[in-house]
């Protein structure tokens, strides 16, 4: 039986940071999903149900703390592990 790779959602408003993490984590055989802002991160997290979210703190419009607060308020995303 083939092992399913863990899903990691990378959230950062800096495209270079997202690309770097995508490259490094994909090389380690993780399934990487990208979001460039907090609003899309919340939508993607609910839809994709990642195993882990790597979340930037300083982002325009909605910072990482607000994203985390909203994820914890949603029963579908409240248990997803998040690293700020």
Report yes or no: 6 and 31 within 8 Å, Cβ to Cβ.
yes
Handedness of CA 72, 74, 79, 83 (dihedral sign): negative
Report yes or no: 62 and 36 within 8 Å, Cβ to Cβ.
no
13-31 pLDDT tens trace: 999 999 999 999 999 999 9
Mean pLDDT of 27-39: 97
pTM of the full predicted structure? 0.94
- CA 73 → CA 1, 27, 46, 80, distances in Å? 36, 33, 12, 12
């Amino acid at each position: 039986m083939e092992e399913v790779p863990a899903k990691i959602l990378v959230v950062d408003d800096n495209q270079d940071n997202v690309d770097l993490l995508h490259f490094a984590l994909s090389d380690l055989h993780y399934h990487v999903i990208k979001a460039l802002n907090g609003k899309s991160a919340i939508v993607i997290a609910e839809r994709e149900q990642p195993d882990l979210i790597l979340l930037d703190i300083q982002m325009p419009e909605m910072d990482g703390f607000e994203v985390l607060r909203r994820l914890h308020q949603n029963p579908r995303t409240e248990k997803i592990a998040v690293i700020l």
